[in-house]
């Protein structure tokens, strides 16, 4: 067992990391049991196993089928990001890396590269603001 933990932004507590991860569903609880396999825990375990970090805390907030603009300032999911960052800060935890997997929905809906990059820059500014 590795020192990989799942931070639940909805209650500000950390738990031993296991699938399904807390925080990955649209309702903010857990991913449906048929949606196991989030790579974050495995990445955390590998980082600990290889001596990169003693402990890894993942704070998943993913919502499937979203676009980058939804996570940027003014987007309907930006508050989810902000709450997660605030809760981490309350616990004295500062993110050292952010794993972002987004773009499939943007591609499907024809978001231009310029629009995607502008939303991504806004997303980063939200993160850096915390």
pLDDT tens sequence across 57-116: 999 998 888 999 999 999 999 999 999 999 999 999 999 999 888 888 999 999 999 999
* Eight-class DSSP state of 37: -
CB neighbour burial string for 42-55, b if at least 16 within 10 angstroms, e if fewer = eebbebbeeeeeee
Global pTM reads 0.84
């Amino acid at each position: 067992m590795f020192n990989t933990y799942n931070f639940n932004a909805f209650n500000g507590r950390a738990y031993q990391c296991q699938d399904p991860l807390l925080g990955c569903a649209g309702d903010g609880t857990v991913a449906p049991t048929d949606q196991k396999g989030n790579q974050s825990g495995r990445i955390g375990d590998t980082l600990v196993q290889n001596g990169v970090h003693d402990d890894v805390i993942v704070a998943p907030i993913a919502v499937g089928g979203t676009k980058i603009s939804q996570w940027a300032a003014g987007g309907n999911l930006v508050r989810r990001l902000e709450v997660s960052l605030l809760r981490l800060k309350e616990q004295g935890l500062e993110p050292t890396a952010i794993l972002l997997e987004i773009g499939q929905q943007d591609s499907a809906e024809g978001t231009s590269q310029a629009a995607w990059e502008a939303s991504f820059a806004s997303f980063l500014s939200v993160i850096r603001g915390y």
